[in-house]
């Protein structure tokens, strides 16, 4: 009898707690593993007024009714971190040479910080030219 009462109380507590945290709204999720991109995205969600919750598996959940605002936040992330090109060397010397070569060719770029270092990013219309410069620097000794 005591076992049944404890089991009932346990189930009651679990159901009650689960009910308290449930939004009762359909949700969508996105996973962003890079901590810098994640911070940028969460800031963009806040600016767009999108409520969200984070799960232990690093998912970012938001109500479906905020889908359009979430898309604007995601577009901000993409235009900043993944615009047209993205290049990175692990060698600081090569990074410096790439910077100089892009500037010499008058290819506008910006640097973004990611978990694995700084990345050169450029607008889509400069992708081919920046790709040529990257390969030129790559092949130099």
In a structure prediction context, what are the per-residue pLDDT tens digits for the chain, which is 141 residues long?
Answer: 544 444 444 444 443 444 434 558 899 999 999 999 999 999 999 999 999 999 988 899 999 999 999 999 999 998 888 877 888 888 889 999 999 999 999 999 999 999 998 999 999 999 999 999 999 998 886
Q: Which of 53, 81, 109 is the last residue of a domain?
A: 81
- How many structural domains comprise the chain? 2
Q: Based on the domain organization, do 76 and 90 belong to the same domain?
A: no
Q: Model's pTM, two decimal places?
A: 0.71
Strands 85-87 and 59-63: unpaired
Domain that holds residue 106: 85-139
Residue 72 lies in a domain: yes
Whether residues 76 and 28 fall in one domain: yes
């Amino acid at each position: 009898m005591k076992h049944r009462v404890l089991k009932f109380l346990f189930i009651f507590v679990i159901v009650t707690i689960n009910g308290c945290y449930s939004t009762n709204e359909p949700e969508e999720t996105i996973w962003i593993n890079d901590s810098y991109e994640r911070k940028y995205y969460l800031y963009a969600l806040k600016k767009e007024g999108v409520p969200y919750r984070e799960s232990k598996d690093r998912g970012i959940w938001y109500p479906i009714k905020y889908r359009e605002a979430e898309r604007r936040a995601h577009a901000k992330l993409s235009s900043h971190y993944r615009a047209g090109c993205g290049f990175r060397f692990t060698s600081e010397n090569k990074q410096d040479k790439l910077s100089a070569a892009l500037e010499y060719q008058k290819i506008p770029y910006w640097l973004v910080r990611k978990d694995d270092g700084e990345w050169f990013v450029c607008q889509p219309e400069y992708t081919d030219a920046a790709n040529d410069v990257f390969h030129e620097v790559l092949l130099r000794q």
